[in-house]
Structure formats: structure tokens, C-alpha cells
Amino acid sequence: MTAQALAEPHFSSLQGEANYWAARRHYPAQAIVDLAAIRDNMRHLVDVVNREGGATAVMGVVKADAYGHGLIPTALAALAGGATWLGTAQAREALLLRRAGIGPDRARILTWVNNPLEAPYRELIDADIDLSVATTTALEHIAAAAREAGRPAHVHIKVDTGFGRNGFTFENLHEATGSLVALRDEGVLDIVGQWSHLAVADAPSNADFVEQTEAQIARFEEFTARLADAGIEPRIRHLANTAATLSRPQIHYDLVRPGVGLYGYEADPDMGSPERYGLKPAMTLQAQLSSVKDVDAHSGLSYGRIYLTEDRTSVAIVPVGYADGIHRSASGADTLGALGERGRTMPGGPVRVMTKDGPRLMRVSGRVCMDQFIIDLHGMADDLGVSIGDTVALFGPGRGERYCEPTADDWARAADTISYEIFTCLRNRIPRLYEHATDVLDADDLSRLDPASIL
Ligand SMILES: *Cc1c(COP(=O)(O)O)cnc(C)c1O
């Protein structure tokens, strides 16, 4: 390993350090999640919504294994940062949170994606988990489960304000109000909330997006008025995702639901850098080079030969591929390669490589394979001081150009997707290791983590 290899993570103990080296022996790549960053991002979001002395609560959205960061550690760090709600898509994830010991006194939990005919409503009601209701079918099944449980189901009425996905339309709601009122009066339903979801992130430069959001807000208010006319007054209302939490104080209502912001990213990089919003990307994805060698000019790299080296150069293998969730669409084609013949280059996903002259940005060169990809070092490894076993970073907290440190947004650009997909796609062949866990969590909460994951 070269002297200037990437800095090692912060260890809380000798055991933490041992865990790190054990993970490196077993996995060629590691995702290091900074729980202090997650806590601080949540603190910041809590601060943002309460700036004007309001009393808005914050839900940490931890669906999809906390956007790939790990459900339980992330949820606990979000609570440490002041979240009082947690949100999951699937019922199973909500139940896992309760099973991990996060009781109703610590966090209300809302879950919203299921097949209403088979969803474990009884179990969810028993576990004191709030349910989204968006169809009359769900309403009937929730009511049946609540009767069986002998306690009211806490529900949030989801309304479709223009997303076109889940939620009652005006017409559906009109048909459902009779049952809603009857079930509430019977004591089967506790109508906690009215909620909806926004379709476009507020890129302030995009007038059409801003207008769409305005239209959704107007419909949301109209739903409130219609519910009130029917005698239904939910205790809380919520609409804001990360983008609206950061940029639209007028729709914070009683609760906001940031997801991507908790992980340190903006919904739309057009909004500006995470730093500008007081956020810090929590995940660093790193790997150790499994091979470094010299090749001739005009050597084809990887499947399909879409990348040919320009000069004699060194190439290195990064041992992660699409089976680990590295997007194949982040492959890199060179002007000399097949795509180049059509006059097009395609910059591959960025990788930070430490050379003896400091960090340099290299890129995926050729197609991403199942378990690995190649980077052209654009120079000789000996001169650059790059060797087998060196740690490289695919993305990290994004400390700016001076550090040559890519973010998940940079990978999203290379793969033609969004940061959300970059981290949710990372599979279980990449261990999640937690930095600053002992600073953020108390002994009780620490005991809820896999001990081998604590650095
Ligand atoms: C995912 C999700 C969120 C969080 O959205 P972000 O853009 O990640 O902040 C909020 N509400 C609902 C219903 C969601 O599905």
C-alpha cells in the first residue's frame, strides 16, 4: 500500500478497528456510513422546520433499508438527531423497527406500501404503527383488523394531489367519506393525518416544476376543505419531502418527511450542493484495487471493447460490478472505442485514486462487469505511485474538487440516474460499516446494531 492511501475511517475502539480489517478481508469493497452525519443532517432538518418558532415534527424516511444505509442504525441516528417519526414503505420494515426495540414512545411509525388484501394490518395495529389509507379496499381491511385487535387503527388519509400514484382522488374520497365517518364514530379508526406526495423536486430555476408544486398544494388544501365539510378533521397534515422541507417553509404543516436529505443529498443537484443546504453525504463507498498492470496503447478494456487506451498506460481493477449494484450504465467509452466511432465519448463513473502527488480522479474505462470494472490510470502506475491493494473511493462526503472526491450525484450523472438509485442499489455483497456509532448512540441503542458493523 502506498504511503498516501486513502485515510482510514475513524475507529471508536480496537474492536472497531479489528471489525474494519475483518470486513476488508471478506469483502473487496465497503460502504462506510457516518452516523454522526446522519444525526447532524436530521438535526439540521429539525432546525430548518422550526426556525420560525413553529412546531413541525420531522419523520426520517428509512424505506428501502434506509436508502441502502442500513435500517436500524440509520433510524437510531435519525432519532438521536431529533426525528420523532419514522417512515417506511413496506410493512415488514416498519415491524422490524418496532422489533428492534423502537417503541411508540420514541417514534411514531408510518407505513404506506402494501397489498391491502394481504397486508399484516393486525400485526401493524398491535405494534402501534400508523397506516396509510389510499383506497376503500384498504379501508375495509384495516377496519376488519382493528375490530379484531379491539383497538383503533391510526390512519393517515392519502390524497392524490397530482402525483398520480397512491391516494384518493376527489371522486374516490367522496365515495369513501361515509365509511370514514362511520368507522371513526364506531371507534375503529383514529384519523391521525391527511397526507400527499409531491411529484417534482423544487428546482427553483424550473418554472414549470414550481407551478406543478403550487397546483399540488392548492389541491391539498381543497382536500382538507372537503374532508372538513364531511366532518373529518385529521390532527396533522404532511406533504413535504426533502426538497420542500429545504425550500418551502409554507408547506411544512405539522410534519415533514425528508428522505434523501437525511443521507446528505438533495433531490435535484440543480438545487445546489448539499453543503449549501447544511447537509453532509453520509456514505463513503470504497474498494481495494485487485490488480494493477501496464498495457500497450490501443488495448481494448473489458467487454465489447468500447474503450481503447490511447497510449501505453497502467490499468487497475476495482473489484465491484453490477452484481454489487454498480450501474452498468456508468461504463466509460473512449473516443477510440466503439461508441467513439460514432463520435461520442461517454465518461464512466468517477473514482478517487490516491497518487504520490495527491488524489486524482480516474474513471470507469470500458464496460462495468458483474464483479469488477477497470480504470485507466492515464499514466504508469510506478510513476503515479499506485499499487495493488490501494484503497480507492467511488464516492464520499464530497469535500469538493481539491479532494477529487466524487459524490453519489457524480455517479448518478455518469449512470444517467439519481443519487437515490446509486445507494439503494448497493447490495449485500458490500458490508455497511458504521463510523461514529459510539458518539451518536447510547449503550442501549448500540446493542441493537450488529456488533461486527461498528467501527
Ligand atoms: C420516499 C418518500 C419520501 C422522501 O422523499 P425524499 O425525496 O427522499 O425526501 C417522502 N414521502 C414519501 C411518501 C416517500 O415515498
Q: What does the pLDDT average to over 36-55?
A: 92
Q: What does the pLDDT average to over 122-126?
A: 98
For residue 287, which phi and psi values (nearest 5 degrees)? -150, 165
Residue from 114, 158, 241 to probe ligand 1 pocket by mutation (most atoms less than 8 Å from CB): 241
- Mean pLDDT for all residues in the chain: 93
23/9 Cα distance (integer angstroms): 13
Reported as a single tens digit per residue, the pLDDT across 192-226 is 999 999 988 767 778 888 889 999 999 999 999 99
Q: What does the pLDDT average to over 386-392?
A: 97
DSSP assignment string, 165-228: SSSB-HHHHHHHHHHHHHHHHTTSEEEEEEE---SS---TT-HHHHHHHHHHHHHHHHHHHHHH
pLDDT for residue 109? 98
**CB-based burial label for 99 (10 Å; 0-12, 13-18, 19+):** exposed
Q: Is the pLDDT of residue 335 over 90?
A: no
Residues labelled as active-site residues: 63, 303
Q: Is the pLDDT of residue 346 over 90?
A: no
Q: Which three cell numbers stand for residue 374?
A: 477497470
pLDDT for residue 338? 52
Residue from 257, 262, 265, 421 to probe ligand 1 pocket by mutation (most atoms less than 8 Å from CB): 257
Q: Which residue has 410493512 as its cell numbers? A: 91
Q: Which residues contact 381 (CB under 8 A, 6 or more apart)?
A: 292, 293, 294, 314, 316, 387
Q: Is the pLDDT of residue 2 over 50?
A: no
Distance 87 CA to ligand 1 centre (A): 9
pLDDT for residue 404? 82
pLDDT for residue 202? 66
246 lines ligand 1 (CB under 6 A): no
pTM of the model: 0.94
